[in-house]
A and B are shown apart, each in its own frame.
Chain A
């Protein structure tokens, strides 16, 4: 009487196959939320990482949760896990099942998932350095790989630039429809613009190291806007428009409003800089307290930092709403990239023009108009000014700003407050350590990966693209 055993042991609770339409929203939401938040304490890679290190924000309590460069192990372990398991694997599944050999071929799902997969891989390599890429995501492949090898950052970049090119080719306007697209609402032209803008950005990022290849890619894109469309206005954004219904809300809203955490204020660095420029964006990024903006120096021990609690500027209400979008790549960011490429001579074009458009686009992003004398204060389109203005424009995109700082050294950050105590020998983290799980589960490949980085597995080894 064991004949119904087989059917009895098939789960009645969970499906054994699902459509790409339901995998896509999960992949997008989990990756963007992690990048923009994250909501879980001790792994908020943006709020307790990038946003603090480039001195947009500072902590008024628990400075050892990121602000003094200390990180709990959950920080580097769970972000690694979250990006690979919750985001990449779902994109990978879409690519497999909607590919030409898949169970439900659809080139537009395949293309969109490839764009998202590339973006997440770019985050991972920018955060950690060498990462499993070519052998990653093969846990259930026909020949499964349980200990994937690491690819150097250079190799990952080469792969991503190729993947994004393929994605642009797969994505066909007027091709098969996709649904579940919570980012672009199924608009394939937007996916194409994002694919090419991202490719341009990655090419620029490695341009100092691989000038010939990077220039060729940038030229390829810019020379054929029909084949390679890119963002052309402030309505062309790669953003996730967060929703009112929990938990689809903005991560900052979740942490600071829903969970009532008030641990952050604006950093003194940001406040001072915006005040020096008389920059109206300060009123968007922050809220005055007692009618004035006072920033907290980063890295202050709790006993000192807490004395700022009541007096220093709070985060702007715009960023605390449920529906505030999570910005993945803005139009202004693309323009700053072009401005830098022009200044570096990687592309033909007027750096000053891109620079001015970029600043204007950043103001426009918040419904502001750039003050008439702003450019005078901001200075001309030198590399430093471009990247300093880019830093101001990237407020909110802490990881991106941190990456640009690590790559270029801009903006020049002020000397730390004398009362500040930083760990990591006072070195602003250059990367995250690999998670302890890789040490226990993938040791020999990890060792090879560490050597690819050309330095120890700590927070001081420089990235390959660092200029």
Chain B
């Protein structure tokens, strides 16, 4: 038979489908469709062609002598052949996996772009909890399946193209003390620097089971990012993507607009500090407003709003100088304060490929302006991925990315400016402080920028403009790998990758001024951070089928990892020339700090997968690590995993329309973890030299431990994946347990020992949970209309089983005497603090004379940071080229300590505090008219002074008053997209073009916090659940355009 040349076009609906494999059945002859979906192939005229593509149902078409065969592939709703990326980038059929992996496609992530791509996971992936904060370029806190480590990192490992990238926010150091802190989220790092346009797919490996092969850092799960590399393209193409979004704060607190700033029903600006009123003219003005008996002093030194009714009375204000002006409400000062944030994403990619290889070169730029005045962020990503088959057996791939990011000012005044504030202040005026320099009164000799007061606050716009925190960061991430197929059974991959970054930060902390008659010089610090992680790894793979029923696939490998970190910090304590930011512009010795950190982990691992009839699978893995951070005799540790997957429908030969697919899975895994470096031996800490001259050291208050051993996390899970009605409905359910033992813990000890903590292996925390994912296609019409729904739900219960011997509590974070703790027998992250006294039926008990709430003795459980459950609901509708989708993100339960709300109530900012100011307030609850021993509770009817009453919201003393349930239901994402029809794209010679209108954080459909968005992360890391005037999260609207040529 003479072969004939067959050609044609492969489409999905009416869109060309590139990258489809076309094979002559029963042979290895084949080709791949090009960017226009076209293919050409020589084959015998009687042969059969097999068209296959990931995510689509394969089709077989008999050639039958035809030379033109056009094919329309349908998406495979059952996704039975779905291939996912697992550990080490090994692509495997999802049905073969005995553990949970959830994948999110790059197109989903790029549709509604966020500067930190991980924020797109919230509500989309079961069991993944993301807490973000509003700052441009900042990172978010990610927790998968609950927090398992008492004191150490609880965030997943992030791997890009097979090589880990560092999440910087665990390396924070407090410049004041030199102590390691966790509050580095402002600077982002790691996953937040990834350009979403470059992502082909993201796999979420939840828990140790999926991640055992990644070793130490994988106990919290792994986020595996595969970037686009141009594979499957023929010829050259260009992809352009551009988007612009605009942000405004999502939640506005409910302010009172009745009473002005100050105290005692008086609002009067004298000199910025509540000084005495002595000038005869001022006395006259003052008496006109407040009568003959009011005390003769200003009220601006009180940064609260218990002042005069804003009834238009004539008073001196910060901007009126020696004149008076009507005192009027400023209900819109919140809107005046915030700017409209702007985010522009632009990216261009050049892709190309042929049968030998492919490449993708992309340049992306992010420009962000925060909602805070003079707060911005920029990022440039240049990425080159390529792959080339040097011979049929030898393949070289490289992935390299340079990221330059930074900002003129990363700092943002928190909205403390609305917590300690005067409601009578116009922020527009404050922003234009330059207009009032000649008019504004202050102490003689002082030269402060005009402000509503000078006792505690500096004009926030001045601070934003001059006290900047700039940074300039370079990151180079890349790897190259060579793989060689010895034959169809053996192959070897050798790879080397590194992730290097360096960040220079300049923080201006004080400007030169005379305040209260005292001169203070300017102050700034400069910090240079350098960090590098290098991984070299090699992996030998062996594949063999034994007869038609059995298959085997094994890997053997080794990894060499090295981490290096260096920090240099210098603070100029007193500058000579103001606004000259060079380190030798100093009037007194600078404060210097430096830190170096290096460690090394070497590993060997092996994995084997056995398959039976392509429907029963057994995976076994083992890994041994040697870590430099552990004592020499304990630095080697081994941990195994085993998992099983059984496709019940195949094994039992079930084939029905109702039950189209059923799989059950089970797995057990362990992951070991090492210590942080330098935890074995006692050291001394450098202190600030006496008068800059006499050196000073102190013994470290940590007792280190030369007998540390590795920690072990054990995870178990069972699950099922069931599809009904030909895949129209799918259910995936998982139950898991996870337990971390022998945790390396800095355990607090009695300070009378002379020390604060000692390091030891102690403690166990367990997490148990359920994850459900339900997918369905309720409507699919012949005219192309389709409605898809996906729902996910996850609940996790954690429990602190044990801490060190004799120790029952470990403090995670503490502020104002309130702490979150890991306490034995309690869930991780329980709030302990001062509670109000309550009657047996739960009502607050009030003082029977003063009418103020009484306080319960001791510390009480006030809540817990962990949610009861989290979930998401996504709906998408598509019709022809139009698609509409909406994502609802739900968090039920979990508490926060909102110190901002408590404080702003105490300081008279919020609407509820305007109630009863003149006539007094009666607290809802009871009073005890009996004795302490024999209480008799009757409804409280005592009228309390309003200011005194509301001061019981002071969260520094009355912690319970600021504990709120942080549940929310958010309309997280809405997008409306339109795929331009072919006749239009042809006109501009494009392959495809799509325009979308997108919105993020559109609305909070439900919440229990009266004044703020309950989604907070102000401290980062394990110190979740705290907020105090955090930069508000914003609602964003925008549009994006994606064109492919």
Q: Please say whether chains A and B are actual partners in one complex.
A: yes
The answer to whether A307 and B750 touch (CB under 8 A), given A2-B602, A64-B957, is no
The answer to whether A11 and B697 touch (CB under 8 A), given A2-B626, A136-B753, A260-B455, is no
CA distance A253 to B475 in the complex (A): 44
Within 8 A of B (CB), among A220-247: 243-247
CA distance A250 to B598 in the complex (A): 39
Interface centre among A18, A72, A92 (most CB of B within 10 A): A18
What A residues does B755 contact at CB under 8 A? 85, 89, 139-140
Tell me whether B273 is interfacial, beta carbon within 8 Å: yes
What A residues does B306 contact at CB under 8 A? 303
Tell me whether B90 is interfacial, beta carbon within 8 Å: no
Tell me whether B504 is interfacial, beta carbon within 8 Å: no
What B residues does A9 contact at CB under 8 A? 599, 628-629, 677-678, 680
Binary contact track A230-272/B, C-beta < 8 Å → 1, others 0: 0000000000000111111000000001101010000000000
What B residues does A80 contact at CB under 8 A? 751-752
Tell me whether A385 is interfacial, beta carbon within 8 Å: no
Q: Which of A26, A85, A245 contacts B754 (CB 8 A)?
A: A85
Nearest B residue (CB) for A180: B694
The answer to whether A137 and B754 touch (CB under 8 A), given A10-B681, A307-B295, is yes
Within 8 A of A (CB), among B612-668: 626-629, 632, 635
The answer to whether B683 and A15 have CB atoms under 8 Å apart is: yes
The answer to whether A85 and B691 have CB atoms under 8 Å apart is: no
Q: Which of B297, B685, B703, B751 contacts A437 (CB 8 A)?
A: B751
CA distance A42 to B957 in the complex (A): 11
CA distance A156 to B298 in the complex (A): 51
What A residues does B683 contact at CB under 8 A? 11, 14-16
Tell me whether A177 is interfacial, beta carbon within 8 Å: no
The answer to whether B697 and A18 have CB atoms under 8 Å apart is: yes
The answer to whether B264 and A88 have CB atoms under 8 Å apart is: no
Tell me whether B65 is interfacial, beta carbon within 8 Å: no
CA distance A302 to B278 in the complex (A): 23
The answer to whether A139 and B703 have CB atoms under 8 Å apart is: yes
What A residues does B594 contact at CB under 8 A? 13
Tell me whether A161 is interfacial, beta carbon within 8 Å: no
Q: Which of A26, A244, A245 contacts B687 (CB 8 A)?
A: A26
Tell me whether A84 is interfacial, beta carbon within 8 Å: yes
Tell me whether B699 is interfacial, beta carbon within 8 Å: yes
What B residues does A145 contact at CB under 8 A? 753
B91 to chain A, nearest CB (A): 31
The answer to whether A139 and B690 have CB atoms under 8 Å apart is: no
Nearest A residue (CB) for B298: A310
What B residues does A12 contact at CB under 8 A? 596, 598
Tell me whether A100 is interfacial, beta carbon within 8 Å: no
Binary contact track B580-614/A, C-beta < 8 Å → 1, others 0: 00000000110000111111101000000000000
Tell me whether A435 is interfacial, beta carbon within 8 Å: yes
Interface window among A199-207, A327-335, A438-446:
A438-446
The answer to whether A260 and B751 have CB atoms under 8 Å apart is: no
CA distance A169 to B148 in the complex (A): 56
Within 8 A of B (CB), among A13-63: 13-18, 21-23, 25-27, 29-30, 42, 61
Nearest B residue (CB) for A147: B750
Tell me whether A1 is interfacial, beta carbon within 8 Å: yes
Tell me whether B758 is interfacial, beta carbon within 8 Å: yes
Nearest B residue (CB) for A74: B817
Tell me whether A148 is interfacial, beta carbon within 8 Å: yes
Nearest B residue (CB) for A86: B698
What A residues does B957 contact at CB under 8 A? 64, 70, 72
The answer to whether A29 and B696 have CB atoms under 8 Å apart is: yes
B465 to chain A, nearest CB (A): 21
Nearest B residue (CB) for A135: B752
The answer to whether A442 and B752 touch (CB under 8 A), given A5-B635, A309-B301, is yes
Tell me whether B947 is interfacial, beta carbon within 8 Å: yes
Tell me whether B1008 is interfacial, beta carbon within 8 Å: no
Binary contact track B737-753/A, C-beta < 8 Å → 1, others 0: 00000000000111111
Nearest A residue (CB) for B806: A147
B684 to chain A, nearest CB (A): 5
CA distance A27 to B687 in the complex (A): 11
Tell me whether B816 is interfacial, beta carbon within 8 Å: yes
Tell me whether B415 is interfacial, beta carbon within 8 Å: no
Tell me whether B948 is interfacial, beta carbon within 8 Å: yes
Tell me whether B756 is interfacial, beta carbon within 8 Å: yes
The answer to whether A148 and B602 have CB atoms under 8 Å apart is: no
Q: Which of A30, A64, A74 contacts B698 (CB 8 A)?
A: A30
B909 to chain A, nearest CB (A): 16
Q: Which of A8, A16, A310 contacts B275 (CB 8 A)?
A: A310
CA distance A8 to B635 in the complex (A): 13
Interface centre among B297, B680, B685, B691 (most CB of A within 10 A): B691
CA distance A144 to B700 in the complex (A): 16
B681 to chain A, nearest CB (A): 6
CA distance A395 to B754 in the complex (A): 31
CA distance A292 to B703 in the complex (A): 55
Tell me whether A187 is interfacial, beta carbon within 8 Å: no
CA distance A258 to B691 in the complex (A): 16
What B residues does A180 contact at CB under 8 A? 694-696
What A residues does B817 contact at CB under 8 A? 72-74
Q: Which of A14, A42, A84 contacts B684 (CB 8 A)?
A: A14
Tell me whether B573 is interfacial, beta carbon within 8 Å: yes
What A residues does B596 contact at CB under 8 A? 12-13
Interface centre among A245, A248, A435 (most CB of B within 10 A): A245
What B residues does A260 contact at CB under 8 A? 455-456, 515-516
Tell me whether B856 is interfacial, beta carbon within 8 Å: no
A165 to chain B, nearest CB (A): 23
The answer to whether A23 and B698 touch (CB under 8 A), given A2-B602, A16-B682, A140-B703, is yes
The answer to whether A16 and B697 touch (CB under 8 A), given A147-B806, A262-B273, is no
The answer to whether A8 and B599 have CB atoms under 8 Å apart is: yes
B286 to chain A, nearest CB (A): 12
Within 8 A of B (CB), among A61-104: 61, 64, 70, 72-74, 80-81, 84-86, 88-90, 92-93
Tell me whether A129 is interfacial, beta carbon within 8 Å: no
Nearest B residue (CB) for A14: B683
Tell me whether A131 is interfacial, beta carbon within 8 Å: yes
Tell me whether A352 is interfacial, beta carbon within 8 Å: no
What A residues does B703 contact at CB under 8 A? 139-140, 144
CA distance A298 to B439 in the complex (A): 38
What A residues does B860 contact at CB under 8 A? none
CA distance A85 to B691 in the complex (A): 22
Nearest B residue (CB) for A65: B956
The answer to whether B758 and A139 have CB atoms under 8 Å apart is: yes
CA distance A438 to B516 in the complex (A): 42
The answer to whether A248 and B691 have CB atoms under 8 Å apart is: yes
The answer to whether B297 and A81 have CB atoms under 8 Å apart is: no
The answer to whether A247 and B701 touch (CB under 8 A), given A5-B635, A13-B594, A310-B274, is no
The answer to whether B753 and A146 have CB atoms under 8 Å apart is: yes
Q: Which of B685, B694, B700, B807 contacts A182 (CB 8 A)?
A: B694
The 7 closest A-B pairs by CB, nearest first: A310-B297, A139-B753, A243-B691, A89-B754, A132-B752, A14-B683, A73-B817
* 10 A-B contact pairs sorted by A residue (CB < 8 Å): A11-B677, A16-B681, A23-B684, A25-B695, A85-B701, A138-B753, A139-B749, A146-B806, A148-B753, A438-B751
In the complex, besides A140-B703, A303-B264, 12 extra interface pairs with C-beta distance below 8 angstroms are: A8-B599, A8-B628, A8-B677, A13-B595, A72-B957, A80-B751, A89-B699, A243-B691, A310-B274, A311-B295, A440-B807, A442-B752
Measured CB to CB, the residues of B under 8 A from A are 263-264, 270, 273-278, 295-298, 301-302, 306, 455-456, 515-516, 518, 520, 560, 573-574, 588-589, 594-600, 602, 626-629, 632, 635, 677-678, 680-701, 703, 748-756, 758, 806-809, 816-817, 859, 947-948, 951, 956-957
Measured CB to CB, the residues of A under 8 A from B are 1-2, 4-6, 8-18, 21-23, 25-27, 29-30, 42, 61, 64, 70, 72-74, 80-81, 84-86, 88-90, 92-93, 131-132, 136-140, 144-148, 180, 182, 243-248, 257-258, 260, 262, 289-290, 301-303, 306-307, 309-311, 435-438, 440-442, 445
